[in-house]
């Protein structure tokens, strides 16, 4: 059974960075892309980027270019998303999601979400 388990909630000060992890199990880690999607309080879904665990490459949404990094560790089947220069606008729940078809069209399994709160 596929599981994506994310790290716990974080509280950060403006200007700081946060690193959220997403540990995968129940499938071949390298075979499926992982996306990161965030959701601000009371708002909709916002796509942040995609990571290819097989090759290590990442593509980021234009909005986050320059302050986001996605990496992976094949030995632990874990993907990481680091966001820097945090502001209050970055307060949100961050989700990782598996892309079953690697087509940006089939997010079939999601992590439970990680709440990141940015506050002074």
Partner 1 sequence: QSVLTQPPSVSAAPGQKVTISCSGSSSNIEANYVSWYQQFAGTAPKLLIYDDDKRPSGIPDRFSGSKSGTSATLGITGLQTGDEAVYYCGTWDSGLSGGVFGGGTKLTVL
Binding site for partner 1 (CB under 8 A): 35, 37, 44-47, 50, 59, 61-62, 95, 97, 101, 103-108, 110-113
What is the chain's length?
Answer: 120
**3-class SS at 40?**
coil
CB of 100 to partner 1, least distance (A): 8
CB of 13 to partner 1, least distance (A): 26
CB of 116 to partner 1, least distance (A): 15
Rounded to whole angstroms, how far apart are CA atoms 29 and 51? 12
> Do residues 110 and 97 touch, judged by C-beta distance below 8 A?
yes
Rounded to whole angstroms, how far apart are CA atoms 11 and 25? 27
The residue (of 80 and 95) whose beta carbon lies closer to partner 1 is 95
**Cβ-based neighbours of 46, under 8 Å, separated by 6 or more:** 37, 38, 39, 40, 61, 92
The residue (of 46 and 82) whose beta carbon lies closer to partner 1 is 46
The residue (of 96 and 118) whose beta carbon lies closer to partner 1 is 96
CB of 2 to partner 1, least distance (A): 12
The residue (of 105 and 120) whose beta carbon lies closer to partner 1 is 105
Q: Which two tokens stand for residue 30?
A: 């390298």
């Amino acid at each position: 059974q596929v599981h994506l388990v994310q790290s716990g909630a974080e509280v950060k000060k403006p200007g700081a960075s946060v690193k959220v992890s997403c540990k995968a199990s129940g499938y071949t880690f390298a075979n499926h892309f992982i996306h990161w999607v965030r959701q601000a309080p009371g708002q909709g879904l916002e796509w942040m980027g995609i990571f290819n665990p097989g090759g290590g490459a990442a593509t980021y949404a234009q909005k986050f270019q320059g302050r986001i990094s996605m990496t992976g560790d094949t030995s632990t089947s874990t993907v990481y998303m680091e966001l820097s220069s945090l502001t209050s606008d970055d307060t949100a729940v961050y989700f990782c999601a598996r892309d079953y078809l690697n087509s940006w069209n089939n997010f079939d399994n999601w992590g439970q979400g990680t709440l990141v709160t940015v506050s002074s």
